[in-house]
Amino acid sequence: GNPTMIRGEPGATRLALSDDGSVLYAALPDQDAIAAISTEKLTESARYGTGAGTRPDSLAVAGGTLWFGYGTAGGGGIGSVEGTGTVTLRQDSGSWAAAPMLATTPTPSGVLAAAVQTGDTSAVVTYRVESGVLTRQAAKALPVPDLNDLAVTADGTHLAVPSDQGAIANRY
């Protein structure tokens, strides 16, 4: 089909699809919000305010919950939006140097990964998601000084982290 312009979503940065494919979520950092867009009608069906100054950026759906990385340089966190629309910040007890980038498996799962660049390395944490609760599985600093993306393999057991810095092993 032809592409459709969805109005009223200025500055959308990242997208995530609901487990059943009926909702496309769009991060709106300049509006401190996340838009829910019906994939059937291609119109906004809900908007979730994340709080003043949160600047949500990265989105992932894991364990049936929408997760978002938020914050700015100097501090960030992981928040969630439950099916009822309840927004909760500070879902991870750790601290982040900026808004963490999130990733999950390409099929519905309970695996969530988060990462943020911290100088010459990148801090990466993996979680298990169950009933809307994050449980840390592993945390590690990786030799990736140019973090711009990460992906979780379909089976949820490895991370792929691209780097332009020579022949660095990029699967963890």
pLDDT digits (tens, 9 = 90+) for 140-152: 998 888 888 899 9
In 3-state terms the chain splits into helix, strand, coil percentages (rounded to 5) of 0, 45, 50
50: left (phi over 0), alpha (psi -120 to 50) or beta: alpha
Tokens coding 30: 């300049």
Residue 134 in tokens: 């994050």
Q: Which pair of tokens denotes residue 91? A: 């879902």
| pLDDT averaged per 10 residues in sequence order, the chain, 172 residues | 80 92 96 96 95 95 94 90 91 86 88 91 92 90 87 90 65 54
70: which 2 tokens? 């938020």
How does DSSP assign 13-54, residue by residue? Answer: --EEE-TTSSEEEEEEGGGTEEEEEETTT-SEEEEEE--TT-
Q: Which two tokens stand for residue 55?
A: 């600047």
Tell me the pLDDT tens digit for each residue of 59-82: 999 988 999 999 987 889 999 999
| Amino acid at position 156, single letter | G
pLDDT at position 37: 95
Alpha-carbon distance of 69 to 98, in angstroms, equals 9
pTM metric for this prediction: 0.90
Q: What is the pLDDT of residue 62?
A: 92
Q: What is the pLDDT of residue 23?
A: 96
pLDDT number for residue 127: 94
Report which residue type is found at 146. Answer: D
Q: Check residue 1 and report its DSSP letter.
A: -
Residue-level pLDDT at 9: 86
Location of structure tokens 């992981």: 78
Q: How far is CA 47 from CA 27, 34, 98, in A?
A: 10, 6, 24
